[in-house]
């Protein structure tokens, strides 16, 4: 006996559009868009990608699910449980509450290019400039849309059509595949490399300048890697002296914009923009969204003459920030007027400074809320832990690590010693001691990470050698309950019937 094809009974678009549940969706979202979603749903039914409903309620459920999926934004909030504070793929620095409020307030009309005193035209470049001058000691400053843009603008304004002298040891890749030689070329300048990979002296720069055609010296801070051993480099003060003697501007690509002493964060020494300005550079370029802790932006600070040249260049308009970014950056910069307040209020700085003991207490609490120290079905059992390595990202499973797999009624977990990273191309040698939650997933580590990412909101963790690793250093305390709920979702997946 031939079984009739269920697709023959698929309802038509016009009939479904008249159903009360469909009219409700149309009333809130518009007829045209809902009709499109309905046609897509019926197309899936006819193609056999979904089972054909046998009731009106079944169609309603499928369409509501289709609408919900389509309305999920592509840019979503996530919980960063990787332990990488400035995680580039997750948006780098989370913003302080002061910055968030300022950005929300600026979303309406504002005096972006309007002088409230005179009633005439103002300049967007005035916003943030006063704070940048105050915090760095520079004569002037200008804000653009990112750090690489700041470097490109500096080179274009001061050295377009001329040579830019760079040490071989500073020919870095700044992320996303972009490299210093390409940035120099894009600025319309000619790259002039001097010295060797491991040793570059003042005389190397001087010889290049003596040959003529040089428009600027570019000093690149190696913020995303370290060199040791038989090395030598020319410090900024020497380059500034050479630039003054030869009339050659000096540009310092500092990368991250840490505005306080790194010692206060328990980190190795990191030069600040104020150090660069104090050394006498013409321009220093730094990011707003790395250790500075603000929204994505780039800042150029330096002499009034050099900043004026940058502002006057047409590229400056192409790289300018919008009003919301300016508001967020200004609010973040204002926090640095009191360094102690900055460490407390700027999330990235606060995360770096969290003591291991506090992280351990929070991890214990998360496991308790997750259901389970007793090890009931789908719960979380806590055991002693060996130190956990600090490498992030890659899954490196070991066959013997498969303690709890799919179909098991127990999610084995432990609190272990671990390492967090600053990230964002900063402090390459620095590791922050941490206390992490480890789940013994074995060969199922990728599947468990997927369950965490499917949670609402998604929880992004990492895996190592058959363990799923959750580091609360990069999780805000108010997000601990979200992590606990996500752990319960893993428990539900691996429990019988889950």
339-397 pLDDT, tens digit each: 999 999 999 999 999 999 999 999 999 999 987 543 333 334 433 333 344 333 333 33
Burial of 247 (0-12, 13-18, 19+ CB in 10 A): exposed
| pLDDT band of 198, cuts 50, 70, 90 | confident
CA-closest candidate to residue 421, choices 452, 390, 376 = 390
393-397, 430-434, 440-444, 470-474: which range is least confident on average? 393-397
Positive or negative, the CA dihedral 81, 83, 87, 91 is: positive
267: left (phi over 0), alpha (psi -120 to 50) or beta: beta
Q: Two tokens at 107?
A: 């979303």
**Lowest-pLDDT range, 130-134, 162-166, 181-185, 231-235?**
231-235
Instruction: Show the domains of the chain with their CATH numbers.
Output: 10-70 (no CATH), 95-345 (3.40.640.10), 351-494 (3.90.1150.180)
Secondary structure letter of residue 426 according to DSSP: B
What pLDDT, on a 0 to 100 scale, did the predictor assign at position 251?
97
Q: What is the pLDDT of residue 411?
A: 66
CB contact at 8 A, 487 and 455: no
Does residue 72 surpass a pLDDT of 80?
yes
- As a whole number of angstroms, the distance between CA 428 and CA 426 comes to 6
- Tokens read off for 154: 């500096």
Residue 467 CA to residue 185 CA, distance in Å, equals 45
Pairing of strands 411-423, 432-440: antiparallel
CA distance 139 to 313: 18
Tell me if 437 sits within 8 A of 413, measured CB to CB. yes
- Across 43-53, average pLDDT: 93
Task: Note the pLDDT of residue 171.
Answer: 85
Pair 494, 404: CB distance under 8 Å: yes
The strand pair at 84-86 and 411-423 is best described as parallel
Can you give the pLDDT at residue 90? Answer: 95
Q: In whole numbers, what is the pLDDT of the chain averaged over residues?
A: 88
Given a cut of 50, whether residue 281 has pLDDT beyond it is yes
Peptide bond preceding 457: is omega within 30 degrees of 0, i.e. cis?
A: yes
Rounded CA-CA distance 493/406 in Å is 8
- pLDDT interval class at 255 (50, 70, 90): confident
Of 36-40, 237-241, 362-366, 375-379, where does mean pLDDT reach its minimum?
Answer: 375-379
DSSP 285: E
Backbone angles phi, psi at 269, to 5 degrees: -60, 135
Going by pLDDT thresholds of 50, 70 and 90, the confidence category of residue 418 is: very high
Q: What does the alpha-carbon distance between residue 419 and residue 331 come to, in Å, rounded to a whole number? A: 31
Provide the 10 A C-beta neighbour count for residue 66: 17
Question: What confidence category does residue 175 fall into, taking pLDDT thresholds of 50, 70 and 90?
Answer: low
Percent of the chain at pLDDT > 90 equals: 74
Least confident of 61-75, 186-200, 201-215, 351-365: 186-200
Query: What is the torsion angle, in degrees rounded to the nearest 10, for the CA atoms of residue 154, residue 159, residue 160 and residue 166?
Result: -90
And the tokens for 276?
A: 């660069």
Task: Report the range of poorest mean pLDDT among 108-117, 151-160, 332-341, 364-373.
Answer: 364-373
pLDDT at 303 over 90: yes
* Whole-angstrom distance, CA of residue 465 vs CA of residue 441: 9
What is the pLDDT at residue 387?
A: 38
* pLDDT for 223: 59
Concatenating the DSSP letter of every residue in 57-68 gives HHHHHHHHHHHH
The two structure tokens encoding residue 277: 């300005």
pLDDT 10s digits, 423-432: 887 787 789 9
Find out whether 161 and 147 touch, Cβ atoms under 8 Å: no
Owner of token pair 């308790």: 368
Provide the pairing of β-strand 459-460 with 250-255.
unpaired
Residue 405: the pLDDT is: 33
Q: By C-alpha distance, which of 346, 300, 333, 306 is closest to 319?
A: 300
pLDDT at residue 6, as a whole number = 85
| Higher pLDDT pick, 249 / 383 | 249
DSSP code, position 444: G
**pLDDT for position 416:** 95
């Amino acid at each position: 006996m031939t079984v009739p094809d269920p697709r023959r009974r698929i309802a038509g678009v016009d009939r479904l559009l008249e159903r009360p549940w469909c009219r409700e969706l149309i009333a809130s979202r518009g007829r045209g868009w809902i009709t499109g979603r309905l046609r897509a749903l019926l197309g899936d039914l006819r193609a056999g990608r979904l089972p054909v409903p046998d009731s009106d309620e079944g169609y309603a459920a499928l369409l509501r699910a289709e609408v919900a999926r389509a309305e999920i934004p592509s840019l979503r909030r996530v919980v960063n449980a990787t332990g990488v504070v400035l995680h580039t793929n997750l948006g780098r620095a989370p913003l302080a509450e002061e910055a968030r409020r300022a950005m929300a307030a600026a979303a309406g009309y504002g005096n972006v290019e309007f002088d409230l005193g005179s009633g005439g035209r103002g300049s967007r470049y005035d916003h943030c400039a006063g704070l940048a001058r105050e915090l760095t000691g520079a004569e002037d400053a200008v804000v653009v849309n990112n750090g690489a843009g700041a470097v490109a603008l500096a080179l274009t304004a001061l050295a377009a059509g001329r040579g830019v002298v760079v040490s071989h040891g500073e020919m870095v890749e700044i992320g996303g595949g972009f490299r210093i030689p390409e940035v120099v070329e894009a600025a319309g300048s000619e790259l002039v490399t001097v010295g060797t990979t491991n040793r570059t002296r003042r005389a190397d720069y001087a010889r290049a300048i003596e040959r003529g055609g040089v428009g600027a010296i570019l000093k690149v801070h190696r913020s995303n890697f370290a060199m040791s051993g038989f090395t030598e480099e020319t410090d900024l003060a020497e380059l500034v002296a050479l630039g003054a003697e030869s009339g050659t501007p000096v540009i310092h690509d500092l990368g991250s914009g840490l505005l306080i002493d790194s010692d206060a964060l328990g980190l190795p020494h990191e030069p600040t923009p104020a150090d660069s300005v104090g050394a006498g550079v013409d321009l220093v370029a730094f990011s707003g969204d790395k250790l500075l802790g603000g929204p994505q932006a780039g800042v150029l600070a330096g002499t009034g003459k050099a900043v004026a040249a940058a502002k006057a260049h047409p590229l400056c308009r192409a790289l300018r920030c919008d009003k919301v970014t300016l508001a967020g950056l200004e609010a973040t910069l204002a926090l640095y007027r009191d360094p102690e307040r900055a460490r407390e209020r700027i999330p990235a700085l606060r995360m770096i400074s969290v003591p291991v003991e506090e992280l351990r207490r929070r991890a214990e609490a998360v496991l308790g809320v997750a259901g389970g120290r007793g090890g009931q079905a789908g719960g979380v059992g806590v055991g002693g832990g060996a130190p956990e390595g600090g490498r992030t990202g890659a899954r490196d499973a070991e066959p013997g690590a498969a303690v709890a797999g799919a179909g098991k009624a127990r999610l084995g977990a432990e609190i272990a010693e671990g390492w967090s990273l600053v990230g964002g191309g900063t402090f390459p040698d620095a590791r922050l001691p941490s206390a992490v939650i480890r789940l013994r997933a074995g060969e199922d580590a990728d599947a468990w990470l997927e369950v965490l990412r499917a949670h609402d909101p998604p929880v992004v963790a990492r895996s190592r050698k058959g363990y799923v690793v959750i580091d609360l250093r990069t999780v805000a305390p108010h997000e601990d309950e979200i992590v606990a709920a996500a752990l319960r979702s893993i428990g539900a997946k691996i429990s019988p019937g889950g």
